[in-house]
Structure 1
Amino acid sequence: MSGSARRGLLLPTLATLVAFATLLALGTWQLERLSWKNGLIAQVEARAAQPPQPVLPVSQWPSVTREVDEYQPVRATGTFDHSKETLIYTVLSDPKGPFKGPGFQVLTPLMLPDGSAILVNRGFVPEDRRAPDSRRDGQIQGPVTVTGLLRMPEEASWFVPANDPAHNAWFRRDPGEIAAARGLAKVA
């Protein structure tokens, strides 16, 4: 093989080596991410399997952290304030029930005896059931005890639009924003 022929193969060989190294690095990253994700799933499943604890008093809410408390089962007794519910837009592409497509997660404040409130995710409703009148059976009145998993506020991302309280357009859970828009004090 002549020198010019070898030089002609240099660029394709280098490109192949760079592509191979890149693919090898991406494959390694995927395996590390899979291991991290499996560990995270195991941690969430272990937490969610614990017995429910009473919701902490308001004075202890600042000590709640994502790392220690998220997905901890909690229990609370109070009264739903349906007049201050918030609908978080979502799309169910892989439904686990009878509904699919665009709709809303219904967050309703559960008013606690001390005057504080926790936002309870009461589930998904399709777009055509947005109006509370279309789901009167779900408008529970009087004291109730609810058990669920403690969730932290959703973090902003490039893929989710910002909430627009002025136009009642919600795309992620943010108790602080929701509380301000709904006139609620002491909300978790």
Structure 2
Amino acid sequence: MTRPASLGARVLLALLVVSAFAILIGLGTWQMQRLAWKEALIAAATDRPQSPAKAPPGPDAWRTFDLDQWNYQRVRLTGTFGPNEAHSWIALSEPHGPIGGPGDFVVAPFTTEEGWSVLVNRGFVPEAKKDPATRPGSEPPEGVVTIEGIIRRDDTPNTFTPDPDLEKNRFFGRHIATMAPYLGLSLENTAPYSIDLVAEETPAGGLPQAGESVVTFRNPHLQYALTWYGIAAALVGVVGVVLWRRRKGA
């Protein structure tokens, strides 16, 4: 004959079940919150590049401004390009323009009329045209110019990001803290964001091919939420079956 579980054991089991249920519901709710955040981000990436251009945040706003509120925002600024360029490797699988495949984003220093600087992604060049000597006419315009682009978040490297090869001018992402000194800019005076030029800024020769901001989002949060909620429902079902069998056998 099976020995009945003690009151303490039943209470402990009940607490474990309730805790597990609460954790599962909490995880599902967190994923729903992430879903709302991701959908807002996707909407911003779709709408902001088409909105009227604004002046980008200057040094007075860098310490406090919310980059999420500016990411993908179309901006207009006036200043001069520096003479150097850095190359950020990318495999452009879905180009907006006629050229794609393996190549580089050409990133140039830009100093505004106000005196602060920002990294500007001028656009894409294919692997065979990485060397500026192979693409005459691709240099940035001289003198004071007004440009338009969209603000992009800093590409902070992770564990899997290869180290840049400074001798070969090959970066893997536009990490401002690494690129700015390479291009001769002071970090203290460089914006904590970069700017991708819009397609209209492509030079007459076609390179660098501007307007190639890569905007891709994975949005599996609804699937994850339903998974956690489903496990919680299954837990309730298992507990219900156990209690029903106990009551039936009583």
User: 1:53: Cα distance to partner?
Assistant: 1.1
Which of 179, 185, 190 is the aligned partner of 1:187? 190
The amino acid of 1:77's aligned partner reads T
Structure 1 segment 58-77 matched on structure 2, within 5 A: 58-77=59-78
C-alpha deviation, 1:97, in angstroms: 2.4
Distance 1:65 1:39, change over 3 A: closer
Q: Secondary structure at the match of 1:53?
A: coil
Structure 1 position 101, deviation (Å): 1.9
Q: Deviation at 1:150?
A: 0.8
Please say if 1:78 is aligned against 2:79. Answer: yes
Deviates more, 1:129-138 or 1:103-112: 129-138
- SS state of the match for residue 46, structure 1? helix
If asked which structure has higher relative contact order (CA below 8 Å, sep 6+), I would say: 2
Change (3 A) 1:117 1:62: same
Aligned position for 2:110: 110
Query: Alpha-carbon deviations, 1:76-125, whole Å to 9, x = none?
Result: 111111x3211101112233322222110011111212332111111100
- Higher deviation after alignment, 103-112 or 134-143: 134-143
Amino acid at match of 1:125: V
Quick one: structure 1 residues 99 and 47, their matched pair in 2 at CA, closer, same or farther if it must change by over 3 Å?
closer
Q: After TM superposition, give the deviation of residue 35 of structure 1 in Å.
A: 6.8
Tell me, in whole angstroms, the C-alpha distance in 1 between the residues paired with 2:144 and 2:67.
29
SS in 1 for 2:57: coil
Give 5+ residue unaligned stretches, structure 1: 1-27
Q: Is the 8 A contact 1:89 1:171 kept in 2?
A: yes
Q: Any unmatched runs of 5+ in structure 2?
A: 1-27, 192-250
The answer on 1:94 being equivalent to 2:94 is yes
- Matched with 1:19 is none
Superposition deviation, residue 169 in structure 1: 2.4
Q: Is the 8 A contact 2:119 2:180 kept in 1?
A: no
Task: For 2:136 and 2:110, locate their aligned partners in 1 and report how far apart those are by CA, in whole Å.
Answer: 17
Equivalent position of 1:142 in the other structure? 143
Q: 2:39, 2:62 → 1: CA distance?
A: 29
Please give the root-mean-square deviation of Cα atoms over the aligned residues, in Å. 2.5
Name which one, 1 or 2, has greater alpha-carbon Rg.
2
- Provide the C-alpha distance between the structure 1 equivalents of 2:39 and 2:72, rounded to a whole number of angstroms: 16
Give the drift of 1:65: 3.0
Question: For residues 32-71 of structure 1, what are the alpha-carbon distances to aligned partners after superposition, in whole Å with 9 as ceiling and x for unaligned?
Answer: 6877644421132233333211122222222333322111
CA distance in 2, matches of 1:166, 1:137: 24
Give the TM-score of the pair, scaled to structure 2.
0.56
What's the TM-score, normalizing by structure 1?
0.72
Q: Which residue of 2 aligns with 1:8?
A: none
CA contact (8 A) 2:109 2:183 kept: no
Distance 2:47 2:179 in 1: 30
